Amino acid sequence: MAFFYDDAAHTFNEYLLVPGYSSSDCIPAAVDLSVPLVKFSKGEAAPLTLKIPMVSAIMQSVSNDTMAIALAREGGLSFIYSAQSIEDQAAMVFRVKDFKAGFVLSDSNVAPDATLEDVVKLKEASGHSTMPVTHDGSPHGKIVGIITSRDYRLSRMALDTVVSEFMTPREKLVTASATTSLREANDIIWDHKLNALPIVDEHDHLLYMVFRKDYDSHKENPLENLDSQKRYLVGAGINTHDYVDRVGPLLEAGADVLCIDSSEGFSEWQSRTLAFIKGEYGPDVLVGAGNVVDREGFRFLAEAGADFIKVGIGGGSICITREQKGIGRGQATSVIEVAAERNRYFKETGIYIPICSDGGIVYDHHMTLALAMGADFMMLGRYFARFDESPTAKVNVNGNYMKEYWGEGSARARNWQRYHSGGTAKLSFEEGVDSYVPYAGALKDNVGLTLAKIRSTICNCGALTIPEFQQKAKLTLISSTSILEGGAHDVVLKDQVAAFPTSFR
Rounded distance between C-alpha atoms, residue 381 and residue 231, angstroms? 24
Rounded distance between C-alpha atoms, residue 208 and residue 230, angstroms? 16
Bridge partner residues of 378 (DSSP): 54, 357
At 195, is the secondary structure helix, strand, or coil?
Answer: coil
Inter-residue contact 162 to 110 (CB < 8 Å): no
Dihedral of the alpha carbons of 440, 442, 447, 453, in degrees to the nearest 10: -50
Half-sphere exposure of 249 (CA within 13 A, CB side): 17
At 497, is the secondary structure helix, strand, or coil?
Answer: helix
Close Cβ partners of 440 (under 8 Å, ≥ 6 residues apart): 386, 387, 446
Inter-residue contact 311 to 375 (CB < 8 Å): yes
What are residue 163's phi and psi, to 5 degrees?
Answer: -55, -40
Neighbour count for residue 67 (Cβ, 10 Å): 29
Q: Which of 73, 418, 455, 459 is catalytic?
A: 418
Rounded distance between C-alpha atoms, residue 77 and residue 377, angstroms? 11
Strand ranges across the sheet with 131-134:
131-134, 143-147, 168-169
Q: Which of 319, 356, 459, 461 is catalytic?
A: 319
Rounded distance between C-alpha atoms, residue 399 and residue 395, angstroms? 10
496-503 contact pairs (CB < 8 A, 24+)? none
Q: Indicate if 319 belongs to the active site.
A: yes
Inter-residue contact 115 to 159 (CB < 8 Å): yes
- Plot region of 282 (φ>0 → left; ψ -120 to 50 → alpha; else → beta): left
Inter-residue contact 269 to 240 (CB < 8 Å): yes
Q: Indicate if 156 belongs to the active site.
A: no
How wide is the angle at C-alpha 15 spanned by C-alphas 386 and 447, nearest 5°? 25
Half-sphere exposure of 202 (CA within 13 A, CB side): 1
Rounded distance between C-alpha atoms, residue 35 and residue 378, angstroms? 11
Cis, bond preceding 221 (omega within 30 deg of 0) = no
The separation between CA 156 and the C-alpha centre of its own chain, rounded to angstroms, equals 48
Enzyme catalytic residues: 319, 418
